[in-house]
Amino acid sequence: MEIIVLSDPAAVGRHAARLIADVLGRRPDPVLGVATGSSPQATYSELAALVREGLDLSRATAFALDEYVGLDPAHPEAYRSVIHRDVTVPLRMDPARVHVPDGAAVDLRAACMQYEEAIEAAGGIDVQLLGIGANGHIGFNEPGSSLGSRTRVKTLAPRTRRDNARFFGGDAGAVPVHCLTQGIGTILRARSVLLVATGESKAAAVAAMAEGPLGAFCPASALQLHERATVVVDEAAASLLGDREYYDFARDNAPGGALDFD
Ligand code: F6R
C-alpha cells in the first residue's frame, strides 16, 4: 500500500485526478470504478478540468460501487442521479457506458449477479476510486463483511445512516436501510485501487486500514492484500498514522506509482 500524505483536500483531489488520468489515458477503452459521497468530489472536479483541457473519456466505461435499495432512481440522492450529475456529465462520458447497480430491481440478487457479469464483460476495472467510511467501510461493505464478498444486498450500519443523513435533510431515518454494493472481493479484483480520504473524522479509519490488523471489522484493511493500492490523504486524515516518516520518505523517493501497472 502506497500512502501519500498531502497538505489539504484540494491537493488530494489534484493528485488523485492525475493518477486516474494517467491510467485511463494509457488504455483505449478504460474502465473506471467510481465512488459517491464527499471524498471524491475534488477528484471529479480536477478530472473535469483535465477533460476540458483535452482528456477524452468518451470511450471510458464506469461502474459505481453501490446504490441504495428502495429509493426512486430519479431521487436526487439515488446514486444513479449522483453519478450522472458528478461523473457522467462533467467528465463527458457516454451515459450508456456508465453503470450503477439497480437498487430498484424486482430481483435484487439477479441484479447483483448481472452487475458482476457486466464488470467482467467490460474486461474488469482498471482503477477503482474509493472513499472510506468513518467505520472503515469501503463501498457499503460494513464492518463484518466477508473479505471475499461479491456484489450483493447489504444492510447499512446505523453509523453510516447517521453519517449520510446530511444528504437527506439531516434525517438519518430518511436514509435507506439497504443497499447493493460491490463486495470486497469485487473491489480487490480491480487492477488498481485508489482511496482518497480527507478530514479528521477519517483519521481513525485510515490508521486502522493501513496500520491495523487485516480483518473484517475494518473492511478497508482488505486493501492490504491488493498489490496496487494507493491511498491519498490530507494531513487531517493522516493525523493518526504511526509511520509518517516512512510514508513521506517513500513519497519523495518513489520509484514509480503503484498505479503504474503496464
Ligand atoms: C460511496 C461509498 C462509501 C463512501 C464512504 C465515505 O459510493 O461507497 O464507501 O465512500 O461512505 O463517504 P464520504 O466520502 O461522503 O465521507
How many domains in the chain?
A: 1
- Res 260 pLDDT > 70: no
Compute the distance from residue 139 Cα to the ligand 1 centre, in Å. 7
Q: Is residue 261 part of a domain?
A: no
Q: Is residue 7 part of a domain?
A: yes
Chain center to CA of 190: 11
CATH number at residue 217: 3.40.50.1360
Q: Is residue 259 part of a domain?
A: no
pLDDT value at residue 261: 45
Compute the distance from residue 153 Cα to the ligand 1 centre, in Å. 17
Q: Is residue 262 part of a domain?
A: no
pTM of the full predicted structure?
Answer: 0.96
Q: Is residue 58 part of a domain?
A: yes
Compute the distance from residue 49 Cα to the ligand 1 centre, in Å. 23
Q: Is residue 224 part of a domain?
A: yes
Q: Is residue 170 part of a domain?
A: yes
Band of residue 254 on the pLDDT scale cut at 50, 70, 90: confident
Closest protein CA for atom 9 of ligand 1: 139
Range of the domain at 168: 2-254
Instruction: Collect all residues with Cβ–Cβ distance below 8 Å to 216 and sequence separation of at least 6.
Output: 143, 144, 145, 146, 147
Band of residue 262 on the pLDDT scale cut at 50, 70, 90: very low
Compute the distance from residue 193 Cα to the ligand 1 centre, in Å. 15
pLDDT in tens, 3-46: 999 999 999 999 999 999 999 989 999 999 999 999 999 999 99
Instruction: Tell me the CA distances in angstroms from 26 to 20, 23, 127, one per residue in order.
Output: 10, 6, 12
Residues at CB less than 6 angstroms from ligand 1: 35-39, 65-66, 131-133, 137-140
